[in-house]
Every structure is written in structure tokens, then in C-alpha cells.
Amino acid sequence: MNLAIAAAMLVAVFFTSMLSGIFGMAGGLILLWLLFLLLPVSTAIAVQGIIQIVANGSRAWFSRHYIDWKILAITTCGLVVAAAALVAVNYKPDLIIASITIGLLPILVWIPKHWLALDATKPGHALSAGIISGVLNLGAGASGPTVDMFFIRTMMDRRKVIATKAAIQVLSHAFKIAFYWSAAASLSQSELLAILMAAPIAILGTSAGKFLLERLSDANFRTWTRYVVTAIGLFYLARATLVLL
């Protein structure tokens, strides 16, 4: 990884972490898209997991008083089930499948509430969120919109939503790093240095996002979340189309 690419990645880490600090996701999707351009699929997913565990970890820490620990515990059980299933089938990622999967995920946030009334505060729904998001995060590298559809229609305060989702993502990325450990272990010294430098920048970006989040109303937060995630999904579908062509 040369100096120009490393610098571009660090800038991307700041702004994507800031975006995640505002909406609780989206930033990780953009970062993964950029990493797919630079690295093999397995390595890109592992690197994104390392960077995002810092960004989400700092966001969860800053907002730790708002975390719903019951939802987190139940969702974690779902993550364990998902990881065990993918290990059992010896799953290997594919760029086109990952891009199409992530590109289609934003459809979920537009489904009318009366069609699919998901609610993370219900134990069964929280468990399903863990299983589905776990499969997608390990299989495609991202699952933000999936987790979001279990939260966006609840009556939870936006700060509680952000904090709980951040904690879920920390554990999800930890599972992802373990799943792709061999790819992470193959990183060069320059790539590892760039990741090390990205850690404090991710925290700065998260802090900036938290500052902007406080200035959003709950209604605007939910509305903009849908539009931002949809735009990112379209980029992924465009990428998949270009690869196929």
C-alpha cells in the first residue's frame, strides 16, 4: 500500500466514521466499498472489521449509558448461531455476491411497517436480528441496514438506538475478524501500519458524528437514515454491474 493510497484510506476512515457516528451505520458500508477496490474480498472484509470495531467501539463507549443490554445479549446469541452455521459450511466470500447482497439491503428500510413490523425490543426479533445480521456481516462484509430495520420503527430514543446498534456492531465485527483471521494475518507491515493509524482517526470521526447527532431530531434521523443507506446501496449495485460487464 503506497503513501497516496494510505492517506486516502485515512481520510475515508474519518468521514465514514463521522457518518456512522450520525446514523449508526452507512460509514462502514462506504469504507468496505472502498476497500473492495484495493484488496481481495476476504482481506477487505477483515480490514473493515478491524477499523470498524474501533469506530463502533468508541461510539459505544461514548454512548454506553444508553446501551440496552438486554437487546445486546439476545442479539449476541443470534451472532453465535450465524457464525457456527457459516463455519459448518466452510463459507468463502465472493465480490459480486457481496456487492449485490449489500446493494439490495436498503430495500429493507423502505418496507411498510404493517408489512414487516420488526421490533428489537422483542426478544424473538432481537435474536432474529443477530442471526440475519451475523450471516450478512460474515458473508458479505456488512449488515447495517439489516440491523437498522429492527430499530428504525421502534419508539426508542435515537441515542439509545445508536448506542445499542454500535455495541451490536462491535461484537459482530469481532466475530468477522475471527472468521477471516487468516486473511488479516496476511497483511503487510505497511497495511498494518495504515490500520494502526486509522484507529485514532476513526475515534475522531465518531466524536464529530456524535456532535452532529445531538443536533438532529428523531424524525430527521430516521428519514435521513433511509436516504443515505439507499444511496449507498445503489453504489454497490452499480459496482456489481460493472464487475459483471
Q: What are 99's three cell numbers?
A: 456487492
Q: Which of 175, 157, 161 is nearest to 52 (CA)?
A: 175
pTM of the model: 0.76
CB 137 within 8 A of CB 174: no
* pLDDT score recorded for residue 113: 66
CB 48 within 8 A of CB 32: yes
Domain ranges of the chain: 3-244
> Which stretches in the chain have pLDDT values below 70?
1-3, 21, 23-26, 109, 113-114, 144-145, 218
CB 28 within 8 A of CB 146: no
* pLDDT score recorded for residue 130: 93
Q: Where are the beta strands (DSSP E) in 154-219?
A: none
* 107/105 Cα distance (integer angstroms): 5
Q: Which of 157, 158, 161 is nearest to 147 (CA)?
A: 161
CB 10 within 8 A of CB 203: no
Length of the chain: 245
* pLDDT score recorded for residue 75: 94
122 contact partners, CB below 8 Å, separation of at least 6: none
* pLDDT score recorded for residue 204: 80
Amino acid letter for position 121: T
Angle value at C-alpha 89, between 88 and 91, nearest 5 degrees:
115
* pLDDT score recorded for residue 2: 63
- Radius of gyration, CA atoms only, the chain: 17
Q: What are 218's three cell numbers?
A: 428523531
